[in-house]
Amino acid sequence: MASTIFDKSRATRRAKAQHPTLASSPELPSKFLRTEQPMLPEVSELQAVRHFTNLARRNFSIDTHFYPLGSCTMKYNPRGAHRAAMQEGFLQRHPLTPASHSQGTLACLYELQETLQTVTGTAQVCLTPMAGAQGELTGALMIKAYHADHGDTERNEIIVPTAAHGTNPATASMAGLVAKEVQVNAEGDVDLHSLEQVVGPKTAGVMLTNPSTCAVFERKIETISDIVHGAGGLLYYDGANLNAILGRARPGDMQFDVLHLNLHKTFATPHGGGGPGAGPVGANELLAPYLPTPLVAKDENGYRWVEQEERPHSIGRLSAFMGNVGILLRAYAYALMLGRDGMRRVSEFATLNANYLMQRLADAGFELPYPNRRATHEFTISLRREAHETTVTAMDFAKRLLDYGFHAPTTYFPLLIPECFLIEPTETETKEELDAFADAMIAILKESHDNPAYVKQAPHQQSIGRLDEVQAVRKLDVTAIPS
C-alpha cells in the first residue's frame, strides 16, 4: 500500500524555502493568526518532490497513455498553443485592466469569436460559458428568453432524444424547461414518429447531440428541423464533439438556431478531472440578441467589451470577467496553427482513426450495435455476448486494459447499449497505437475464455487493485490525517 506524505513526516524536518512565516507579517491583525501549528507533513524538499513525482507517475494521462475515452476527446494538446497562451503579457494582465490596455488579449478573443462563427456557421459567438454543460444552460435560457419575448409563455418543453448526452436534459431542467424524451430507432437515428408525437404548442425546442452518444451522425436533421421549426420550436445543437465534422459541415447550415462547442475537447485544450474548460455558444440572427455578455467588438478605436447596456435582450452574465481566458487563448493559438486545411484534417483523421479501429475490432468478432453505420469520430461496441459467454463484463475489460497500458474507453454509456464501450481514438494517434489497442482487446478476449477469473480481478499490475465502486461512491474517504 502506498504511504502518504504524512507517513514520511518527522518532527522539525523542513523544506526551508517552502515554510511560510506568516506570523511575522505585520499587516495581518493578530486575531487572524493561528495559535496552533498547521497540520502539515514535515519533510525535506527532496522528499516532497519525490513523493509527488512518484504519485504523478501513476497517472494515466494523454501524455503517458492512449486514452480513448469516448465523447471526451482526450487528444494531444500541442505544447505550442500552451506556450503561446503562457506569455507574460497574458498571464500578468489583471481582469479589470481597461480595454485600452488589453488590446492584445481582446484582439485574440475577437478573432476566436470570428473563427468559431465561421466554423459553426453562426451569426455571433459568445466565449464566456466555462463548460459544455454551461453552454447548454446558456442555450436553454436563450431559447426560453426568446419565447418569453414573443409572448409565447406556454412553451416550456424541450425535446431530448434518448441518444443525447446526459447533460442535455439536466441543463434544460436547470433552465426551468421540462425535458421530453424521444426514442432513437434501431439504426441510431431519432425516431421521427416518436418526435411527431411529442411536438406541439408547448414545444420550446429540441436539443440534439450530434454525433449522438450512439456515435452515429443523425441522418434526418432536415426533417427534424422542419418538424420542430414547423411547430414553433427552436433547434439546439450540442456540438461538444465538433471534431467529427470540423471544417466539413456546419450546424448553422443545418438550420440550428443555437449551439455550443467544447474548446477543451475539439480545440485541444487540456481537460480532465473537472476543469478548466470553455463552452462557447453560437447563435443565428434570431437568437444572437439573447447571447450572454460580455462579447468583444471591434470598431474604429480598436477592440472593446460589449456589456449588458448595449444588449438589452441578453440573458446576462454567466461568468466572472471573460470566462476561462487561458483556455480561450490556447484554442485561438490551436486554430491558428491548424488553419482552414488543418481543421478539415482534424475531422478527416478523427473519423478515419475511429473507422479503422472499429473495423479491426469488428473483424476480431466484437459486436457493433449499429453494424450498418459508419463510425463518426467515435464508435460503440457491445460486450454483451462476451459477458454472457465468459462472465467477463465491459467493466472487467476496462480494468484489464489498464494492465496493457491503455486508459479504458467510456464504459456503460450510452445507456441504450448493453455492456457498452464508447471508443474515441482521436485524430492524434498513430496507426501503431490503434493496432496495439486492438491487439490488447483481442488478447483480453482470449483471456476471458481461458481464465475469466483472472480478468475479473484485474488490474494486476497497477499501484492499486480493483476498488469496491459502491463503497468508493457511498463512503468516499480521501483524508490522510495522521493519527
Binding site for ligand PLP (CB under 6 A): 71, 131-133, 165, 167, 209, 238, 240-241, 262, 277, 279
The gap from C-alpha 225 to its chain's centroid, in whole angstroms, comes to: 26
For residue 425, whether the previous peptide bond is cis, meaning omega lies within 30 degrees of 0, is no
Helix ranges, 221-324 (H): 221-230, 263-266
Based on CB atoms, which residue is closest to ligand PLP, 122 or 212?
A: 212
User: Grid coordinates standing for 26?
Assistant: 505585520
User: Cβ-count burial of 482 within 10 angstroms (0-12 exposed, 13-18 middle, 19+ buried)?
Assistant: exposed
**CB-based contacts of 476, cutoff 8 Å, min separation 6:** none
Give 205's strand partners.
158, 234
Closest CB 237 distance from ligand PLP, rounded Å:
10
Residue 435 CB, nearest distance to ligand PLP (Å)?
26
In the complex, minimum distance from the CB of residue 90 to ligand PLP, in angstroms, rounded to a whole number: 22
Residue closest to 391 by CA, chosen among 454, 470, 438: 454
Which residue has the CB atom at the shortest distance from ligand PLP?
132
CB-hemisphere CA count at 13 Å for 80?
A: 7
Q: If you write DSSP's letter for every residue of 322-384 in order, what string do you get?
A: TS-HHHHHHHHHHHHHHHHHHHHHHHHHHHHHHHHHHHHHHHTTPBPSSTTS---S-EEEE-H
Lookup: cell for 301: 478605436
For ligand PLP, which is the closer residue by CB, 165 or 250?
165
Q: Which three cell numbers stand for residue 254?
A: 443545418
The span from the CA of 211 to the CA of 226, in Å, is: 19
Minimum distance of ligand PLP from residue 209's CB (angstroms)? 5
DSSP 142-154: HHHHHHHHTT-TT
Q: Do residues 206 and 159 touch, judged by C-beta distance below 8 A?
A: yes
Nearest distance in Å: CB 262, ligand PLP: 5
**Please, what is the minimum distance in Å from the beta carbon of residue 382 to ligand PLP?**
20
**How would you list the strands of the sheet with 420-423, edge to edge?**
379-382, 420-423, 410-411
Residue 204 vs 278, nearer CB to ligand PLP: 278
Residue 419, helix vs strand vs coil: coil
Specify which residues 178 forms β-bridges with: 157
